[in-house]
């Protein structure tokens, strides 16, 4: 079951509490209903997708800035 959960990228204390709560609820439901998709698991993965998208945007902006700086140095 642990292999279902991706690595985490947490930005602050509030997000950490939300992550722990969502993960805890998901595990508790899975203990009672193994292999059954549930609202708690959906919340957990929705939070993960939002975190990943936020981190991807930051990374994209950083790469874009590096490229812009390199292009300015070449010309």
7: closest CA among 42, 51, 41, 46? Answer: 51
The count of structural domains within the chain is 1
The predicted pLDDT at position 3 comes to 57
Residue 64 resides in a domain? yes
| Residue 1 contacts residue 37 (beta carbons within 8 Å) | no
For 57-66, letters b (16+ CB in 10 Å) and e give: eeeeeeeeee
Per-residue tokens: 38: 């549930």
- For residue range 10-51, list pLDDT tens digits in order: 778 888 888 889 889 988 998 898 888 889 889 888 988 888
Residue 4 resides in a domain? no
27: closest CA among 43, 49, 8? Answer: 43
Residue 40 resides in a domain? yes
Q: What is the pTM of this model?
A: 0.64
């Amino acid at each position: 079951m642990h292999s279902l959960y991706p690595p985490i990228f947490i930005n602050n204390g509030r997000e950490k509490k939300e992550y722990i709560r969502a993960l805890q609820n998901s595990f508790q439901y899975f203990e009672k209903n193994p292999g059954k998709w549930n609202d708690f698991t959906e919340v957990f993965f929705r939070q993960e997708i939002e975190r990943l998208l936020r981190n991807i945007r930051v990374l994209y902006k950083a790469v874009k800035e590096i490229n812009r700086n390199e292009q300015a140095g070449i010309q």
